[in-house]
Amino acid sequence: MVSGTYEKNLKRLREIADTHGLVLNPDEKRVKKVVGLMADNYDQVNEWVCPCKQTQRPAVKGEDEICPCNAWMEEINAEGHCRCRLFYAKEEAAEK
């Protein structure tokens, strides 16, 4: 069952992608995993902690990276996607 936090986060991430001319990973399983872990973190600490760059287990408010992180656009420009493989440049996603 998908939680309200999951749906809220997925909507938020899609809006961020749209605003920046990006798309979410075409691999739905990857998106579901990352968005779900981020939603779990939000439920625990009230921050959209990036599960891929999370250093504290469990997440700690104010100590872990928030998604999108500071490096996400640099990563997309260099690799075509962010480190988490959540946000993709449209061209890179089309090749996937």
Each domain of the chain, given as residue ranges in start order, spans 4-95
How many Cβ atoms are within 10 Å of 25's Cβ, its own excluded? Answer: 22
> Which pTM was predicted?
0.93
Architecture of the CATH domain 4-95: Alpha-Beta Complex (3.90)
For residues 85 and 66, what is the distance between their CA atoms, to the nearest angstrom? 15
In tens digits, what is the pLDDT along the chain, a chain of 96 residues?
668 999 999 999 999 999 999 999 999 999 999 999 999 999 999 999 999 999 888 999 999 999 999 999 999 999 999 999 999 999 999 887
What is the reported pLDDT for 36? 96
- Positive or negative, the CA dihedral 14, 18, 22, 27 is positive
For residues 54 and 6, what is the distance between their CA atoms, to the nearest angstrom? 18
Quote the DSSP letter at residue 82. -
What is the reported pLDDT for 1? 60
What is the reported pLDDT for 4? 96
